[in-house]
Structure 1
């Protein structure tokens, strides 16, 4: 059976959550006999992958298009490729493609599984034109997709109330650490023993500035891992890089290094607020991190009571003060409970089996 995963920037992951999802799900599906195709815009660097029934499909996107137009064009040629190659199921990451479903047959729409991600039109990075389009595309995704998957129960509640459709809850996954990783060299180069950690895409809705505003007036060290090439990221670096306790490490995609940074941090700070489940939260839990998360129903759905929550600079300070007062027994108890939650609810193997169930429903 042929499955196409569309809407990401390709694999291996060099960008974010959907790419991590595509990377892991394609591997799990291939183990179970599926042939998986993952599209990638050719303008982005992506290794050729042709192993274990996983294939990357590099599609050329003209460089002269603006970012938003390039996304729409990429959506179009990706879906066109899937139709032309007669795949059996299409997993769409995001819903910006959805207006295209108006112009394709019901038999093709019957192959579409859409994961809408978070509530896209609420992200602070979008202007009013983009937000209007995202509301428009969200509507058609929920009206015309054969199956819909949400990675967070708070999203299921939001969307099922809004569109009166049956939705499937399938979270993302993570791999629990089997043994303690090596201490990353970067920590020795920075002469750091104790630090708080953020691994994030540096965008407004991920509350990076809120977090760094606190550390700018703290003597605690904070490490930030994330791509620094966007305009907003450059603004954040310019504003906070002169603080000696704030360290920008740039984008890191090596899982061993990332796991080492997570494992040795004092606590992991998760600022995502725009909805859905981000794999970085699950991966922090899988590494046994104590987590301080932005207070919203999406993060609470995953983390529950095994962490602390903030919504501004003052409450973040309260969380860190509260954390610093905990003894080792209390901290280790929470860390172990986070690992157990991953083993119980968020293994990639279970994620794949749930997606296979949805794929099989397309035949009915």
Structure 2
């Protein structure tokens, strides 16, 4: 069976269009996601819109055993709803939590609390947690052992 890649990309222009672009790049289908400039919540809106599109696209094309790989842990409070849809398609959900966003001083305290809460949901529902750092993998296993997370380490850049 042929492997096809479908990648969401945030549109970087200031004028939102009525239709999102879908184009081919390096043998991958790229879907441009429009999101309004709503501050830090823009990343959450982007992830949800991208995941909705990916699920609908997998249904439309009849994808066999699709894998939904999400980079960063921003939509934890919502992911359970989407994972049910992913599993109904015969798909799996992978997460790369990316690091300790919830520790970064650049975020105000309420945002850091949200990131930590979101990380928990993303890992709880994951079929596989992919860490690009061995310490992040250890942290996931130790912190979320009640969920018995399935984890793997893939070095950054591979």
Shift of 1:49: 5.5
Shift of 1:34: 2.1
Contact 2:93/2:126 (8 A) holds in 1: yes
CA deviation vs aligned residue, 1:64-115 (integer Å, no higher than 9, x gap): x22x121111111011001101151111000102222232353515521000
Contact 1:34/1:53 (8 A) holds in 2: no
Local SS of the residue matching 2:107: coil
Task: Provide the TM-score with structure 1 as the length reference.
Answer: 0.36
The residue aligned with 1:79 is 51
Counterpart of 2:93 (choices 112, 115, 120) is 112
Q: Superposition RMSD on alpha carbons, in Å?
A: 2.3
Q: Is 1:57 the counterpart of 2:31 in the alignment?
A: yes
Count the aligned residue pairs: 140
Task: Provide the TM-score with structure 2 as the length reference.
Answer: 0.78
The residue aligned with 1:167 is 151
CA deviation vs aligned residue, 1:181-220 (integer Å, no higher than 9, x gap): xxxxxxxxxxxxxxxxxxxxxxxxxxxxxxxxxxxxxxxx
Contact 1:41/1:58 (8 A) holds in 2: yes
CA distance in 2, matches of 1:51, 1:137: 31
Local SS of the residue matching 1:85: helix
Pick the structure with more strand per residue. Answer: 2
Shift of 1:51: 4.0
The residue aligned with 1:89 is 67
Q: Is 1:156 the counterpart of 2:134 in the alignment?
A: no
Local SS of the residue matching 2:99: coil
CA deviation vs aligned residue, 1:231-255 (integer Å, no higher than 9, x gap): xxxxxxxxxxxxxxxxxxxxxxxxx
The residue aligned with 1:100 is 78
Pick the structure with more helix per residue. Answer: 1
Name structure 2 gaps, 5 residues minimum. Answer: 15-21
Distance 1:143 1:73, change over 3 A: same
CA distance in 2, matches of 1:104, 1:38: 17
